[in-house]
Amino acid sequence: MNICLFSSDEISRPLAKNDERAVHIIKVLHKNKGDCFDAGIIGGAAGVATITEISEDGQICFSFEPKSRGKPLYPLTLIVGFPRPIQLRRLLRDVAGLGCCKVILSGTTLTEKSYLDSNVVSDGSAEKMLLDGTAQAAGTHVPQLLVAKSLKEAVELAKDSFEQEASLIALDNRRPKESLHDFLQKEGASKTIAAIGSERGWTDGERDFLEESGFTLCSMGSRILRTETAATVAASLILDAMGFLN
């Protein structure tokens, strides 16, 4: 982690010896009393923490000085067909690191029902991956995570993300209208919603629905990518077209 993140309540309390952040500070960063480390409040300020005391039982007492409002998230919402949990954890960590503002996990026609029934969201694993990705990027603002039972519900939630009209993109290598590269070159990008199908892709009915909802079906070449890979690559290309990776 490149920044230690704390809730607004935790920032004023000592860290227990067995807290993973305390372990990181002592065993990875090799910090001692009087030393500083990068810290931030989840959803808030980023700054510097100074260790004021390390107690006999290993608790770390520290003070926090805010330096900035934290790195802002970018106006990119991802709709992702619910992948298998192990892929989902990696996907969430990566897109949080890239700075997407919202991820909507969607049930689709071809989504495996067992994936939807997994407890990866309810048990906090998904939120932890978002925090891990945010900390890796030295950010403090964490993408919002929503779950939709259907693609229709996901699109409605996504369009509520932005007050103004957004560019609408759906990745598809079966019936694309143009390449993602050409779309971004032609249309540019400001606020964007990008839809990525589940492991088995979209059905023709979902493709029709996406096009009727204003999405342009775009390809990223002829290779079939894993959902997590497609999401990370597409987000990177879109953010670059927005000018955020300059």
- Given a cut of 80, whether residue 187 has pLDDT beyond it is no
Which pair of structure tokens corresponds to residue 164? 């103004």
Contact 77, 104 (CB under 8 A): yes
Q: What is the mean pLDDT of residues 166-180?
A: 94
Q: State residue 200's pLDDT score.
A: 87
Q: How far is 214 from 71, CA to CA, in rounded Å? A: 31
Number of CB atoms found within 10 A of residue 5's CB: 25
| Predicted pLDDT at 151 | 96
Tokens of 165: 């009209």
Say what the pLDDT of residue 51 is: 98
Q: Rounded to two decimals, what is the model's pTM?
A: 0.93
Annotation: CATH topology of 4-68: Ribosomal Protein L25; Chain P (2.40.240)
Q: Is-same-fold flag (4-68; 74-242)? A: no
Q: pLDDT tens across 81-115, in order?
A: 999 989 999 999 999 999 999 999 999 998 888 88
Q: Looking at the predicted structure, is the pLDDT value of residue 188 above 90?
A: no
Q: How far is CA 26 from CA 11, 97, 123, in A?
A: 17, 24, 28
Judged against a pLDDT cut of 90, whether residue 118 lies above it is answered with no
Characterize the bridge pairing of strands 192-196 and 144-148.
Answer: unpaired
Which pLDDT score, from 0 to 100, does residue 15 have? Answer: 96
Question: Structural domain boundaries of the chain?
Answer: 4-68, 74-242
Length of the chain: 246
Residue 219: what are its φ and ψ, rounded to 5°? -105, 160
**pLDDT at 67 > cutoff 90:** yes
Q: Tokens 């969607």 label which residue? A: 106
CATH of region 74-242: 3.40.1280.10
